[in-house]
Structure 1
Amino acid sequence: MKNHYLIWHLAVLFTMTFPNSSDGNSEWILKKNKEGITVYVKSNPSFRVKTFRGIMEVESTLSELVAILKDVENNRNWIYKCKESELLDTVNFWHQFNYYEIGVTWPYNNRDVIMELKMDQHLPSKEVTIAIENANSYIPNKESLYRIKIAQGFWKFTPLESGKIKVTYELTIDPGKNIPALLVNGRAVKDPFMTLKKLRSTVMKGAYKGQHYQQIIH
């Protein structure tokens, strides 16, 4: 068991992209550009973990993408490592609280997080932004899980002249409780890449095609 634990840690270290001399600053650093998805990371002086930003373009509409995010029960099928997803409360069309359980590699316990999502649309660009804030005290902690206390970022859907939508996913999230920052930062590229890839696949399946919200200007 101890040997397995050591091998797992070594595997994580050797599969991570080795930091270069610019990793110590707060500039965005391109870490992956593959399959139409780019992933950047940057150091954040306020946190021990890095912030990631994933970007891609999809053939979709603002309403379809918003509908995918609002279908919280299905979020577990495309958010990478998400085991459970549940809508806790809808304040109004623009404001809601979501619950997520996030899978963590052995020997650590899974985490859960309460996210407060506030959506806004900017005119005249028609860009839709969904701000993400942590709301960890919204419901009591679950005994078998560790509640994430740091999670903040956003989703951004930007209409392009080509007719496509530029999707930006940025997040700072710290699972905390004895998981070393080195291991957390090792997931700062794969997590957004896989989430965006699976989101694009969800769009392409067409289950949300034709969705239209009157509240959103297209």
Structure 2
Amino acid sequence: MLKNVLSLAIAISISFSAFAQTDWLLRSNTNGIKVYTGSITNSKFKAIKVECTFNASPAQITAVLLDVNTCTEWVYHTKSIKLLKQPAANELYYYSEVSLPWPASNRDFTAHLTATQNPETKVVTVNGPAVDGLVPVKEDIVRVTESTGKWVIAPVEGGRSKVEYTLHVNPAGALPAWLVNLFATEGPTKSFEGLRRQLQKPQFKNSTLAFIKN
């Protein structure tokens, strides 16, 4: 979800305010990437929060998030991704398939990304709830319909940005605990490491977006 991206995110019936009430437990801290987990009311799956500071502007990070066709280059276990439609520069719909190790079946989902900026704080928020009905259900792939993710990208000194990503998912079907835990800790770390590398690529290093002001 990220895309999501880092792709597995929060049950759609739960508002983002639930995250603010979560008691977060630090699970890993690798190369400046902090991954937390927390319990969500009425869900057996834990929520995830990831924090990291990047040497990039909010516009650069948002440009990577909205360039969904390159997600396979950095989002953990993303097998394929396709832009479905883009109604506006800051809004799009996409389809993605997530590759899971045997014996689990792959998951897929469609998501609606929107990016907005607070004109006073300059903080950028990217929301990415799952939406249904845009792509037919495929045989042997489990469709994820209850998911949402949220990126909060805040500018800090020196042209850097502090990123907070919160997500939770109902992955549907049966998954072993070890696999759920793998995606809860290793997945976010690998994706954020990939995002750091992605931001250094020429097409993103000096990105600007008309709807994001410095």
TM category, shorter: 0.7 to 0.9
Query: CA offsets per residue over residues 1-46 of structure 1, 9 Å max, x none?
Result: xxxxxxxxxxxxxxxxxxxxxxxx9410111112011011101113
Higher RCO (Cα < 8 Å, 6 or more apart): 2
- Provide the C-alpha distance between the structure 1 equivalents of 2:106 and 2:26, rounded to a whole number of angstroms: 29
Name the counterpart of 1:33.
29
> What residue ranges of structure 1 are gaps of 5+ in the alignment?
1-24
Please report the TM-score for the alignment, with normalisation by the length of structure 2.
0.85
Contact 1:136-1:147 at 8 Å conserved across structures: no
Name the counterpart of 1:198.
194
* Structure 1 SS opposite 2:63: helix
CA RMSD of aligned residues (A): 1.7
* Rg larger in structure: 1
- Provide the C-alpha distance between the structure 2 equivalents of 1:113 and 1:149, rounded to a whole number of angstroms: 7
> What residue ranges of structure 2 are gaps of 5+ in the alignment?
1-20
Contact 2:110-2:134 at 8 Å conserved across structures: yes
Name the counterpart of 1:100.
96
**Is residue 2:117 matched to residue 1:121?**
yes
Name the counterpart of 2:161.
165
**Is residue 2:144 matched to residue 1:148?**
yes
Q: Post-superposition shift, 1:94?
A: 2.3
Please list every run of at least 4 consecutive aligned residues from structure 1 whose deviation after the TM superposition is greater than 4 angstroms: none
Name the counterpart of 2:41.
45
Contact 2:24-2:38 at 8 Å conserved across structures: yes
Please report the TM-score for the alignment, with normalisation by the length of structure 1.
0.83
- Provide the C-alpha distance between the structure 1 equivalents of 2:208 and 2:59, rounded to a whole number of angstroms: 5
Name the counterpart of 1:59.
55
* Structure 2 SS opposite 1:197: helix
Q: Percent of pairs identical after alignment? A: 29
Aligned residues: 194
